[in-house]
Amino acid sequence: MRSDIIVQKYGGSSVADPERIRNVARRVSAAYERRSPRIVVVVSAMGKTTDQLIALAHQITPHPDPRELDLLLSTGEIVSIALLAMALRDLGHEAISLTGYQAGIRTESRYGAARILDVDPMRIRRELERGRIVIVAGFQGFTEEFDVTTLGRGGSDTTAVALAAALEASACEIYTDVDGVFTADPRIVPEARQLQDISYEEMLELASQGAKVMAARAVELGELFDQPILVASSFSDRPGTLIHRGVSMEKGNKVRGIAHDVNVGKVTIVGVPDRPGIAAQVFGPLAEAGISVDVIVQNTGQHGKTDLSYSVAKGDLSKAEALTREVAKAIGAEAVTTAGDLGKVSIVGSGMQSAPGYAARMFEALYRAGINIEMITTSEIRITCIVAADRVPDAVRSLHAAFELETRDNP
Ligand code: ASP
Ligand code: MG
């Protein structure tokens, strides 16, 4: 049974300055008056605060200590919750701000990307019972040792979904600076269409392949607890996009959306001895260093040697290259080369798994646009091509047209 609690989350751009914070306070106040007196509000740091704090740390040292960096970054969200509580009090509401610790968000101790272990919402419940609007700092939690952790970039979404699940909220609403989830980034494809709803699986694929509208981890939690999530604008009253399980499949609509990412790097090991155990030796150290490898391609071996390529986020490229050079030396490979100017484009849709021919159509569209495919990877409901970063916008546009995503009943 769901409670009457509503969880709302407002992102950094929605609280970027005092006027916007007052705007959020007015929206929360309206929801309190008209919908439910039991509201929990999660907020991000104001505007670009998190980026600025990271830059500040790097002015002190090139390698900030992870524990201290997390403590520093957590201050951004604390500024926002205090200001929003003041704004709500100014409107005559009883409001109280809580840090991640006070809100009971316990995490593992992996700084910078800690996973939530559990939420003990006792304090939140007590404050709600007192009739207060509860404002919680997003993106932060605490370890067994009571150290402050952060949940990874965009982690306030994760806080909101975790709280909604723990409180069995009737609604979890993510307010941002766009109207919802679109078939592609409207800045690249002006004809992109907003989706009324989308499944957890599809949204998870889109988010993990570069769609910036929501943090992938948050969608994952939503799916795990079957907590529907509404993504909508904090600047308008338009309806938004609902992420949930029971998606009313639009007739014949197989491809739901296109995600893209322009920050992909590739490492190639040339002339790798073709024998058992090599892949384990190459990828073991990457895993240990916390680098997630995306696409792996191994060519057919010739004369006992083969080439092995893999892609990573561009930010991880130099670290990955260094680790792979060491391994290459140890196993007697011929050379290591890298490319940092790649991107990727993905088509996603759960209807694709039961219908053949989507890969062929995707490759044909890219070929017609004169775009070379460097690597390919698929899941049951996604096909991803790695291409040159500067061709990504063209690739997105040509795929959007090829799959007729601007019309509702696309084939
Ligand atoms: N302030 C954090 C970030 O910029 C968390 C968030 O915005 O959700 O990544
Ligand atoms: Mg942010």
**Count of domains in the chain?**
2
As a whole number of angstroms, the distance between CA 279 and CA 308 comes to: 9
The tokens describing 244, both together, are: 């949930």
Give the ligand at the shortest distance from the Cα of 16. 2
What phi and psi values does residue 370 have, to the nearest 5 degrees? 70, 30
What's residue 20's pLDDT? 97
Q: 317: domain CATH number?
A: 3.30.2130.10
Domain finish residue from 147, 177, 207: 177
What phi and psi values does residue 299 have, to the nearest 5 degrees? -75, 160
Range of the domain at 329: 258-402
pLDDT exceeding 90 applies to what percent of the chain? 87
Q: How confident is the model at residue 411 (pLDDT cuts 50, 70, 90)?
A: very low
State mean pLDDT over 181-206.
Answer: 95
14 and 141 inside one domain: yes
Note the pLDDT tens digit of each residue in 7-41. Answer: 999 999 999 999 999 999 999 999 999 999 999 99
The overall average pLDDT reported for the chain is 94
Which residue's alpha carbon is nearest to atom 6 within ligand 1?
154
pLDDT at residue 50 is higher than 80: yes
What's residue 250's pLDDT? 53
What's residue 409's pLDDT? 53
Please indicate, yes or no, if residue 225 is contained in any of the structural domains.
Answer: no
As a whole number of angstroms, the distance between CA 235 and CA 232 comes to: 9
Q: pTM for the complete prediction? A: 0.91
- The count of other CB atoms within 10 Å of the CB of residue 18 is 12
Q: 91: domain CATH number?
A: 3.40.1160.10
Measured from the Cα of 154, ligand 1's closest atom is: 8
DSSP helix/strand/coil, 145: coil
Ligand 1 cavity residues, CB under 6 Å: 11-12, 44-45, 50, 76, 138-139, 153-157
State mean pLDDT over 344-356.
Answer: 87
As a whole number of angstroms, the distance between CA 81 and CA 347 comes to: 38
